[in-house]
Amino acid sequence: MKRGLLQDARNLVLAGAIAAGVGMPATASHAEERAVPLSQAQITLSFAPVVEHVAPAVVNVYASRTVLQRQRVSPFFDDPFFRRFFGNPEGLGGGRPRERVESSLGSGVIISADGIIVTNHHVIKDADEVRVALADRREFDAEIVLKDERTDLAVLKVKDASDSFPYVDFADSDELKVGDIVLAIGNPFGVGQTVTQGIVSALARTRVGVTDYQFFIQTDAAINPGNSGGALVDIQGRLVGINTAIFSRSGGSNGIGFAIPANMVDFVAAAAKGDGVVRRPWLGASVQVVSSEIAEALGLDRPRGVLVTGIYKGGPADRAGLKVGDLIAEVGGVEVTDPDSFGYRFATKPIGKTTAFKVLREHEELTLTIALSPAPEAVKRDARTLEGYSPFAGSTVMNLSPAVAEELRLDGLEEGVVIAGIEPGSPANRVGLQVGDIILSVNDEKVDNTRRLERLASGDPRLWRLEIKRGGRVLRIALRG
């Protein structure tokens, strides 16, 4: 890494500013650098040294996968009912399957000299092959080390790497301020490596909807399709975020781009360098937003923190002494303002350690120490794929535990039996069951484990009465047998 060049660039900007402010000339320390301006009118700032430092570590990511596509002659051959009687449509006009290669293009950032690369999950999702191209036009095959859909991050590693690669250091994204200058580097629209400049427009943006952890850096640096997975860096050439999404009605940049903070990226990258599994701490409690009404009732000057609404018996929160009705104001010494900021702050804490919660309880301020441990599989999941002719046929069900709830993105306090997978075209798919549905009862008999559900699903009643919990709502469904 050209540390000297980057330091000289910072010195150049400082020297130029001093010269402009007091009317004194400044001299450049190296002949190859641009001349320092002699007056304010001559000042021309350049980010070229920063770009020269970072650009070699930003790569183009080419992902491809092979899919089978059947040449359709009639839409009837896509109907499961039709196939039930006529079998495989091949030879009946349904056409033979043909292979088709789908490809996607994005960007990535090298974060270590041995060729570890961070990109977006959606860039390499379902890819069979991944190839990366460096700024100097060298190309390498890459293997996928880790995929984390929940953060929309993936980690790659250059295959058979014998070289030492240029890389970018992480910044502490918590130190970013609104108004800081940032550069976005990537491969928009596949035109080649491109640099855009802007400022941090906002921090802790939520409602973006592309990851489970809604805590994004917003920037007006132009970000377009193909920039996904590219670097957002500060003027010191440090990685502050991974460009991920844009707000656009046209498909192009409208000056509203979003990046995953570097601290979350670093957390996922550390997991990739370990055993390749992202393990997040589990609290064992549910929380909700603090409204103006709740803040007034608690005697707060403004809405802040999160309110504890449920506790899992024996979980980390319970063992630490957290109670329903407590208000969590800080995590690890950092204020939290809503469930999204709380989720981000807690999820980026390392497993095996502890963190401090500042809690308000009945106008008293407490500090609780929370052990950082992963969600446990309190009961065996006992996964079963149901068959036959019941409404559940074609579904895979599991016993709920905090670990299973974490995998399916459900409330970790839920219990019972959950649908973890559904085969396309199956009876379960056709009646509208969904992954994440919790089966409460079948024909008025309570479902408390997968074995019991399998027995109930093997019956042949004239009418199926199902009670299902979906998204916090209980649905009652009646279906003819």
Q: Which residue positions form the known binding site?
A: 122, 152, 226-228
Q: Is 152 a catalytic residue?
A: yes
With CA atoms as reference, report the closest residue to 206 among 89, 341, 47.
Answer: 341
Catalytic one among 104, 107, 121, 122? 122
With CA atoms as reference, report the closest residue to 57 among 159, 166, 196, 133.
Answer: 166
The two three-digit tokens of residue 43, written as one number:
């000042």
Give the long-range contacts of residues 26-32, CB within 8 A, separation 24 or more. none
Catalytic one among 201, 228, 253, 373? 228
- Contact at 8 Å (CB) between 74 and 57? no
Q: Is 228 a catalytic residue?
A: yes
Residues placed in the known binding site for substrate: 122, 152, 226-228
Partners of residue 396 on adjacent β-strands: 385, 421
User: What is the SS3 string spanning the chain?
Assistant: CCHHHHHHHHHHHHHHHHHHHHCCCCCCCCCCCCCCCCCHHHCCCCCHHHHHHHHHHEEEEEEEEEEEEECCCCHHHHCHHHHHHHCCCCCCCCCCEEEEEEEEEEEEEECCCCCEEEEEHHHHCCCCEEEEECCCCCEEEEEEEEEECCCCEEEEEECCCCCCCCCCCECCHHHCCCCCEEEEEECHHHCCCEEEEEEEEEEEECCCCCCCCCCEEEECCCCCCCCCCCEEEECCCCEEEEEEEECCCCCCCCCCEEEEEHHHHHHHHHHHHCCCCCCCCCCCEEEEECCHHHHHHCCCCCCCCEEEEEECCCCHHHHHCCCCCCEEEEECCEECCCHHHHHHHHHCCCCCCEEEEEEEECCEEEEEEEECCCCCCCCCCCCEECCCCCCCCCEEEEECCHHHHHHCCCCCCCCCEEEEEECCCCHHHHCCCCCCCEEEEECCEECCCHHHHHHHHCCCCCEEEEEEEECCEEEEEEEEC
Catalytic one among 53, 107, 121, 152? 152
Query: Could you give the residue numbers annotated as active site?
Result: 122, 152, 228
